[in-house]
Amino acid sequence: MNHGADTIAAIATGAGAAGVGAVRVSGPLVPAIAASMLGREPRPRHAHFAAFRDGAGELIDRGILLYFPGPASYTGEHVLELQGHGSAVLLDALLRRCISLGARLARPGEFTERAFLNGKLDLAQAEAVADVVSATSEAGARAALRSMEGVFSARVDDLLGELIALRVHIEAAIDFPEEEIDFLADPVIGEQLAALRTHLDELLVETRRGVRLNDGIAVAIVGRPNAGKSSLLNALAGSDRAIVTDIAGTTRDVLREAITLDGVTLELADTAGLRESDDVVEREGIRRARAQLERCDVAILVTDEAHAAVDVAFFEGTPSHAARIVVVNKIDLGSSPAHDESADGVAKLWLSALTGEGLDALRGLLRTLATAGAGEGAFSARRRHVVALEIVHEHLTRTATALHDSHAGELAAEELRQAQQALGEITGTYSSDDLLGAIFSSFCIGK
């Protein structure tokens, strides 16, 4: 990629009328463009009040011109910011003027991509820039800001440091085959690995929470056919999207609905009854339901008084870190009033998806689960980061096996090498062009 070879420009502020709007320019032509716009050499990092004119000398707008010479700028290149009135027409004219002076239109995320490529921020920080911009809750925005400042990256780098230290230790041992067994039996190696695994587990917990703060929580609704899963989803979502019928097995696919509770997003999925089926379409639904179940943060079992005890089998397949809620539905049919209980870490609520009685208690519980641990120091993260840490986890488990069971230094070293690679992908130490393309293309233009 020949980044830095050309100069890019984009409107950096949101669409629609606003008090102030800005055009951002980055690249080698910036000093020349800035001088043309101002009519003289701009002073670095100084707010100039300027008359922005088009090629014919016609006034486009009056506003503020800011010039940041590279490398002390957002992208690491020369950067120009032109602030004018937040009118789409004027900003377009300002942008056209920059293009006529030699800049080209920036792709989505291209400014931040250049900042990454020029080492101004790492990949996890760059992703957090987009997450700050798109945050829908205050807790989410704060967490994304911490990741943008490097709080998450620093944790990853600490772990990387520990991992490399252990790798060096083991690589040194296998360089001396005649003494390898003794080296590998050194209790220090075992202690280093144990500490590393503990720190990884801690980081995984916090990173999963970071994803919840960023994306909201994934909620899977499970239970036998006709328990009222679709009705509950609709009641929570306040719409009629899921198909509700009296025929068992109507929900043939995973139905998703994103709802917002106090700015926290809940991604709800109604799963088809997880049971044997000869129907192809239904089997596909069941397969997807299982996949949804395996990655949920919260599993809600919908059941009734009679089946509550046996139906807990539906929780099978939910991750061990997921919260579990038993909903005893259809209380409007019986005499049990809405209330809640919890035992063994499983919350139990009585409600009616049909009348809405008891639904607020469930909403409150979901809200609490979604924002749990969102306080001091919480950072945002993405699913990609969790997946990378899970891969590191697998490699460290195999490293331990190699060391303890067979004293296989070469194997352990190879596992650690792969663990280091997976960890490095989070901050972009190792990254493919495909990954970068996927990340930056999801940005908005001007960032």
Nearest-angstrom CA–CA distance, 232 and 240: 10
Range in contact with ligand GDP (rule: CB under 6 A) among 24-32, 51-59, 260-268, 347-355: 347-355
Q: Is the dihedral of CA 198, 190, 175, 177 positive or negative?
A: negative
Tell me how far, at minimum, the Cβ of 269 lies from Zn ion, in Å.
11
Binding residues: 24, 81, 120, 226-231, 245-251, 270-273, 447
Which tokens is 135 given? 């945050």
Q: Supply the minimum distance, in Å, between the C-beta of residue 249 and ligand GDP.
A: 8
* Binding residue for ligand GDP, selected from 75, 137, 214, 230, defined by CB under 6 A: 230
Spatial separation of the C-alpha atoms in residues 246 and 383, rounded to whole Å: 37
CA angle 266, 214, 74 (to 5 degrees): 155
From the CB of 422, what's the least distance to Zn ion, in Å?
38
Please pick, from the candidates 251, 271, 371, 420, the single residue that binds Zn ion as defined by CB under 5 A. 251
Residues 302-331 that bind ligand GDP (CB under 6 A): 302, 329-330
Q: How far apart are CA 284 and CA 40, in angstroms?
A: 67
Contact 220, 229 (CB under 8 A): no
222 vs 264, beta carbon nearer ligand GDP: 222
Contact 428, 116 (CB under 8 A): yes
Of the candidate residues 225, 307, 383, 444, the single one contacting ligand GDP (CB under 6 A): 225
230 binds Zn ion (CB under 5 A): yes
**Dist CA 118 CA 275 (whole Å):** 53
In this chain, which stretch among 123-131, 176-184, 238-246, 335-343 interacts with ligand GDP, using CB under 6 A?
A: 238-246
User: Binders of ligand GDP: how many residues, by CB under 6 A?
Assistant: 21
The minimum distance between CB 299 and ligand GDP, in angstroms, equals 14
371 contacts ligand GDP (rule: CB under 6 A) = no
Q: Hey, which residues does 270 pair with through a beta bridge?
A: 221, 255
HSE-CB at 417 with a 13 A cutoff on CA atoms is 8
Q: Which stretch binds Zn ion (CB under 5 A): 107-115, 229-237, 350-358, 411-419?
A: 229-237
Of 143 and 233, nearer to Zn ion (C-beta) is: 233
The verdict on 251 binding ligand GDP (CB under 6 A) reads yes
Amino acid letter at 438? A
- Is the CB of 241 or the CB of 367 nearer to Zn ion? 241
Asked if residue 163 lies in contact with residue 423, where contact means CB atoms within 8 angstroms, the answer is: yes
Residue whose C-alpha is closest to residue 330's, from 237, 218, 243, 235: 235
Minimum distance, C-beta of residue 302 to ligand GDP, in the bound complex (Å):
6
* Min separation Cβ 273 and ligand GDP, Å: 7
| Of the residues 72, 333, 387, 438, which one makes contact with ligand GDP according to CB under 6 A | 333
Strands 8-11 and 79-86: unpaired
d(CA 445, CA 436): 16
Range 229-239 burial, b when 16+ CB lie within 10 A, else e: bbbbbbbbbee
Stretch that binds ligand GDP, among 90-98, 148-156, 168-176, 226-234 (CB under 6 A): 226-234
Least distance from C-beta 239 to Zn ion, angstroms? 14
211 binds ligand GDP (CB under 6 A): no
Nearer to ligand GDP, 260 or 336 (CB): 336
Q: Site for Zn ion (CB under 5 A): how many residues? A: 3
- DSSP readout, 295-361? T-SEEEEEE-TTTHHHHGGGGTTS-TTSEEEEEE--TTTSSPPS-EEEETTEEEEE--TTT-TTHHH
Which is closer to ligand GDP, CB of 84 or CB of 317? 317
Among 254, 353, 381, 423, binds ligand GDP (CB under 6 A): 353
Q: Select 334 or 437, whichever has its Cβ closest to ligand GDP.
A: 334
Calculate the alpha carbon distances from 93 to 42, 67, 83, 96, 211 in Å.
21, 20, 13, 5, 40
Closest approach of Cβ 251 to Zn ion, in Å? Answer: 3
**Residue from 146, 208, 229, 395 in contact with ligand GDP (CB under 6 A):** 229
In the set 12, 159, 213, 227, which binds ligand GDP (CB under 6 A)?
227
Tokens of 20: 């102030």
The whole-angstrom separation of Cα 233 and Cα 243 is 10
> Where on the chain is the footprint of ligand GDP (CB under 6 A)?
223, 225-231, 244-246, 250-251, 302, 329-330, 332-333, 352-354
> Where on the chain is the footprint of Zn ion (CB under 5 A)?
229-230, 251
